[in-house]
Amino acid sequence: MYTMFSDTIAAVSTPYGKGGVALIRMSGDDALSIAEKFIFPKSKKSFSEIKSNFVFLADIKSPDGKILDEALVTIFRAPRSYTGENIVEISCHGGILLTQNILSAAFSAGAVQAGPGEFTRRAFSAGKLSLSEAESVIGMIDAKTNASLALARRGISGSLRKKTEQIYSDITSVIGNIYALIDFPDEDLEQMPRDEMYSAIDGIIKELESLKASYRTGHAVCEGIPTVICGKPNTGKSTILNMLAENERAIVTDIAGTTRDVISETVVCGNVLLRLSDTAGIRETADIVEKLGVERSKKEMENSELILAVFDTSRPFDSEDGKVLELIERAKQSGKTVLVILNKSDKNTVFGEELFGGFDTLSLSAKHDEKKTLADAIESRFISGDIENSDEEILTNARQYSAVCSCLSSVISAKNAISFLGDDIAGTELERAASAIAELDGREVSADVVDNIFHKFCVGK
């Protein structure tokens, strides 16, 4: 855990700009004594007489005694506050200059500027919330879809924390048994029989595998799926990109090969986010500029998770299409999700899904905006179950996923070690597994990881 903080921090917690109200928040041991220097309750009561968690009206004054605003103020006393420290919150009029002046008054009285996410970081340090719950707070603020909001809400409610605590305690209980076996092999200690230990380990593996699998959904909803739209020129890639992005950012043209550069865009696609790249088309060409585009397209494909391969079904399938087919076959074998889009279905079509055995295909007309058809098809490949109404724990970011993967791999090694290598090696592997899962919730985590997470917050949260 971190050392407690000596400074009292202050920041404007509402966004920069004009608004009906703004919220200025202060947190720290000295928050109340600092507040008393520039906040004057209309009731004339001293701060020690004012109850926690009740709103009161007060004059906010500058260091030279001028009234800056009449505001509503609330005191939350430690440890019953968001950060676990004393907190004073000022709800004032939402003017840019006014909030800056009130903040300056707080600084003159002894507070210091809060860094990004510092309030939540203090809450984490005080054990008010786990690291995954803090990440859910960011998720709530950043949510672009109702699905990501639902996952963040579930994260804040602590379901993932409870699940990982359970796994941690299951692992440590097996560790205890293994070490008892090693240290006192002949004693009739009350311990799990070996069979029970095996089945406890199997149970842990099952839980971890289901958490691991949940990341496919959590990643698609919260982080976005790196996606490539590929196909030979003029098949309708830019039109599809525009349809998804709902604007005209990519160039749509009849001249083959004009989308020469890779364009990136994050779009909401039903319940998932796509991190899109439109590619120049996978076509061998002598044109140097076009070639650069083609090389980059191939690279983009390697870095993507979802490939939307677009074919123009109104023109005969030719060798260029064949080249694209070859590439997506390779991509599919390497585990990418490939969706073949049979575009221009509004025209007379000359080929169809019969050429794409083994692939998922979707026939559509991008010109007639079939975003929902495409969104449903993509969503069904990444989301299992009803996100908004289910209460299953879902991993929502790469950090959590990597902790679960390393925990799982250590538990599997421990299982093998028990059978073939010996209990002491199994014990070491299980300790590694316990550390990995403890990292997920921040029980054992480096300062760098924590810094990284809280820097994603805005100032004032």
Instruction: Report the interface residues with ligand GDP, using CB under 6 A.
Output: 231, 233-239, 252-254, 259, 343-344, 346-347, 365-367
Q: 402: number of CA atoms within 13 Å, CB side? A: 5
CB of 334 vs ligand GDP, minimal distance in Å:
24
402-405 contacts at long range (C-beta below 8 A, 24 or more positions apart): 403/436, 403/437, 403/439, 403/440, 404/208, 404/211, 404/212, 404/215, 404/436, 404/437, 404/440, 405/212
CB of 322 vs ligand GDP, minimal distance in Å:
17
CB of 13 vs ligand GDP, minimal distance in Å:
44
Asked if 91 and 72 count as a contact pair (C-beta separation under 8 A), the reply is yes
Cα–Cα distances in angstroms (integers) from residue 176 to residues 142, 205, 425, in the given order: 42, 18, 14
Residue indicated by tokens 């407690």: 4
CB of 349 vs ligand GDP, minimal distance in Å:
11
For ligand GDP, the closer CB: 361 or 435? 361
CB of 351 vs ligand GDP, minimal distance in Å:
15
For ligand GDP, the closer CB: 192 or 252? 252
For ligand GDP, the closer CB: 81 or 234? 234
CB of 364 vs ligand GDP, minimal distance in Å:
7
CB of 8 vs ligand GDP, minimal distance in Å:
56
For ligand GDP, the closer CB: 26 or 307? 307
CB of 394 vs ligand GDP, minimal distance in Å:
35
Omega before 226 within 30 of 0, i.e. cis = no
CB of 97 vs ligand GDP, minimal distance in Å:
49
For ligand GDP, the closer CB: 74 or 239? 239
For ligand GDP, the closer CB: 368 or 455? 368
CB of 293 vs ligand GDP, minimal distance in Å:
11
Cα–Cα distances in angstroms (integers) from residue 198 to residues 194, 201, 206, 213, 416, in the given order: 6, 5, 12, 22, 10
Nearest to 417 by CA among 407, 406, 432, 428: 428
For ligand GDP, the closer CB: 103 or 342? 342
For ligand GDP, the closer CB: 1 or 255? 255
CB of 99 vs ligand GDP, minimal distance in Å:
47
CB of 342 vs ligand GDP, minimal distance in Å:
10
